[in-house]
């Protein structure tokens, strides 16, 4: 029995299924999928943030932030909206979205996700614009009929279950732009823009309990933070008690009344913005929470393997929501996506890669192509990914400059080169302490393993042109690390 306090919640273990899954699909779909516009010319969020917060929010590459960008005077999104839609209010896209729902086929999505090799999917049930993707028992008190007419989470969960996949729900707790009118233009605005009323806290609490009761999600993914008058610890405790195998992310922190008062003082606001910018430039995630099962770096990865579980989340392009401005060049290549998964898994993470369906509920062909390429790679190399754990070291570089990543499962060690494999590959800082069997998964080729002054050399009869061809070495205990002199410590 979990109680609504940090000590009790901290006793919740991360379930094995989440450790084993490795790959999930994030789905950002909503009213923002209708206009489907964001700036791409300045790169992804890590690059736009480096130009300063005002620049970033004015030129936000996230299409799902369309409404906030629209509220910023002189923004490219505002110019696009006025040219394309005139004075049409953003909330009027709800009618277009619901009209298009007749075309949506959840079974098609679920089949694609399974073929991509994903083990779970997380759906945005409410993003920052406040639109609900299901008819709720707790409707929006500001905007009437501001919800999908189909039960999108329920239908998608059923389709995923038929494919043997788990289902999770995303919900924007701290932000809901139907309750606020001021645009967010800096990090402080991100912290305090959300509604602070008792009524909004109860609204969010009720939605989370509704999501848990109706859909029994295996992942409860909150975003930005939690309203100050809500009860996040009680929500999480109730969730664990109903689903002990469920997991929650790390974005449940609360910006209380004291913080909201302090940041009204301009020197404090400037200080917080400077500190946040320093973290971003250092590649650190600003997400934090009083309790979580896993961290969630966004468009970033951990620099090294961590003992605690984490999940990298990012879009295939610069945006989570569908963006009509994306091109093949702004999307990850198939090879880069494969390398990203390997990188994340080697350091004890999962990858939650996002798809952004268009306004008709269709996943764009380029996104499908990338996912299917990843799935094809996993069909061959999946044993080096699913169910693995970090090895003694996560990475190394062959003397030829080939990056290497490592995972382990049972008594098998996997070495994965992030380039095509030449006939010989050296694992630096490693040696054999006994007989080992080495096999390249891409073609089943046996490899000869031998100690050399530069490390453990693996030799094949021929090179392999496949992307990231994983190598299995058994038993793993026969491979040991050496010190700088090449000796076993």
pLDDT of residue 266: 75
> Tell me: the pLDDT tens digits for 436-464?
999 999 999 999 999 999 999 999 999 99
pLDDT of residue 11: 98
Residue 488 counted as domain residue: no
Task: Tell me, yes or no, whether 265 and 407 share the same domain.
Answer: no
pLDDT of residue 279: 67
Residue 95 counted as domain residue: yes
pLDDT of residue 180 exceeding 60: yes
Name the more confident of 431 and 488.
431
User: Rounded to whole angstroms, how far apart are CA atoms 126 and 315?
Assistant: 18
pTM metric for this prediction: 0.96
pLDDT of residue 289 exceeding 60: no
> Tell me: the pLDDT tens digits for 190-209?
888 899 999 999 999 999 99
pLDDT of residue 210: 98
Phi, psi torsion values for 486, nearest 5 degrees: 85, 10
Residues 410-425 have a mean pLDDT of 97
DSSP code per residue over 128-152: TT--BSS--SS--SSSTT-B-SS-H
Task: Tell me, yes or no, whether 183 and 163 share the same domain.
Answer: yes
pLDDT of residue 286 exceeding 70: no
**Residue 243 belongs to domain spanning:** 6-384
> Tell me: the pLDDT tens digits for 109-120?
999 999 999 999
pLDDT of residue 171 exceeding 70: yes
Residue 1 counted as domain residue: no
Task: Tell me, yes or no, whether 459 and 414 share the same domain.
Answer: yes
pLDDT of residue 322: 98
Task: Tell me, yes or no, whether 182 and 214 share the same domain.
Answer: yes
Residue 375 counted as domain residue: yes
pLDDT of residue 364: 97
Helices 232-242 & 198-215 angle (0-180, nearest 10): 10
Task: Tell me, yes or no, whether 37 and 152 share the same domain.
Answer: yes
b/e for 453-482, b at 16 or more Cβ within 10 A? eebbbbebeeebebbbbbbbbbebebbbeb
Instruction: Give the H or E element holding residue 459.
Output: strand 455-459
Cβ atoms of 420 and 465 closer than 8 Å: yes
pLDDT of residue 281: 58
Task: Tell me, yes or no, whether 373 and 394 share the same domain.
Answer: no
pLDDT of residue 282 exceeding 60: no
Task: Tell me, yes or no, whether 270 and 284 share the same domain.
Answer: yes
User: Rounded to whole angstroms, how far apart are CA atoms 293 and 304?
Assistant: 18
Residue 243 counted as domain residue: yes
CA distances from 185 to 72, 271, 318 (A): 8, 15, 19
Q: What is the mean pLDDT of the chain?
A: 94
**At which of 326, 349, 384 does a domain end?**
384
> Tell me: the pLDDT tens digits for 99-141?
999 999 999 999 999 999 999 999 999 999 999 999 999 999 9
Number of separate domains in the chain: 2
Task: Tell me, yes or no, whether 380 and 445 share the same domain.
Answer: no
Residues 337-347 have a mean pLDDT of 98
Task: Tell me, yes or no, whether 280 and 405 share the same domain.
Answer: no
Residue 487 counted as domain residue: no
> Tell me: the pLDDT tens digits for 222-254?
999 999 999 999 999 999 999 999 999 999 998
Q: What is the CATH number of the domain that holds 162?
A: 3.20.20.80
pLDDT of residue 488 exceeding 80: no
pLDDT of residue 487 exceeding 80: no
> Tell me: the pLDDT tens digits for 48-61?
998 999 999 999 99
Residue 489 counted as domain residue: no
Name the more confident of 297 and 188.
297
Task: Tell me, yes or no, whether 438 and 303 share the same domain.
Answer: no
> Tell me: the pLDDT tens digits for 7-48?
999 999 999 999 999 999 999 999 999 999 999 999 999 999
């Amino acid at each position: 029995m979990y109680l609504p306090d940090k000590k009790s919640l901290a006793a919740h273990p991360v379930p094995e299924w989440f450790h084993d899954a490795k790959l999930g699909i994030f789905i950002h779909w909503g009213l923002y999928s209708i206009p489907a516009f964001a700036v791409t010319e300045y790169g992804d969020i890590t690059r736009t943030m480096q130009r300063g917060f005002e620049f970033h929010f004015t030129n936000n590459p996230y299409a799902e932030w369309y409404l906030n960008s629209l509220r910023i005077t002189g923004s490219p999104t505002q110019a696009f909206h006025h040219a394309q839609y005139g004075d049409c209010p953003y909330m009027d896209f709800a009618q277009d979205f619901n009209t298009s729902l007749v075309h949506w086929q959840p079974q098609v999505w679920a089949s694609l996700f399974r073929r991509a090799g994903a083990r779970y999917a997380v759906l945005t049930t409410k993003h920052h614009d406040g639109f609900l993707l299901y008819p709720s028992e707790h409707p929006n008190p500001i905007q009437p009929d501001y919800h999908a007419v189909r039960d999108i989470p329920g239908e998608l969960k059923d389709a995923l279950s038929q494919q043997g996949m788990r289902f999770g729900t995303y919900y924007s707790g701290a932000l809901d732009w139907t309750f606020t009118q001021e645009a967010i233009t800096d990090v402080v605005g991100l912290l305090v823009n959300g509604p602070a009323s008792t009524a909004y806290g109860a609204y969010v609490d009720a939605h989370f309990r509704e999501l848990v009761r109706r859909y029994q999600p295996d992942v409860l993914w909150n975003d930005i933070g939690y309203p100050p008058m809500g009860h996040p610890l009680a929500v999480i405790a109730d969730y664990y008690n109903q689903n002990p195998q469920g997991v929650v992310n790390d974005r449940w922190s609360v910006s209380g009344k004291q913080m909201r008062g302090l940041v009204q003082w301009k020197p404090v606001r400037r200080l917080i913005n400077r500190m946040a910018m320093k973290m971003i430039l250092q590649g650190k995630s600003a997400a934090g929470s009083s309790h979580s099962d896993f961290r969630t770096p966004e468009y970033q990865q951990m620099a090294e393997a961590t003992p605690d579980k984490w999940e990298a989340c990012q879009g295939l392009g610069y945006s989570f929501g569908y963006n009509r401005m994306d091109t093949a060049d702004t999307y990850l290549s198939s090879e880069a996506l494969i390398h990203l998964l390997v990188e994340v898994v080697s350091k004890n993470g999962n990858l939650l890669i996002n798809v952004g369906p268009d306004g008709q509920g269709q996943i764009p062909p380029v996104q499908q192509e990338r996912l299917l390429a990843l799935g094809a790679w996993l069909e061959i190399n999946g044993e080096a990914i699913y169910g693995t754990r970090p090895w003694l070291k996560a990475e190394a570089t062959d003397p030829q400059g080939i990056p290497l990543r490592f995972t382990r499962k049972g008594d098998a060690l996997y070495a994965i080169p992030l380039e095509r494999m030449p006939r010989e590959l050296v694992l630096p800082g490693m040696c054999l302490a006994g007989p080992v069997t080495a096999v390249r998964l891409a073609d089943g080729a046996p490899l000869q393993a031998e100690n050399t002054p530069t490390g453990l050399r693996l030799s094949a009869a021929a090179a392999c042109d496949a992307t990231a061809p994983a190598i299995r070495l058994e038993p793993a205990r026969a491979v040991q690390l050496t010190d700088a002199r090449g000796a076993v410590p």
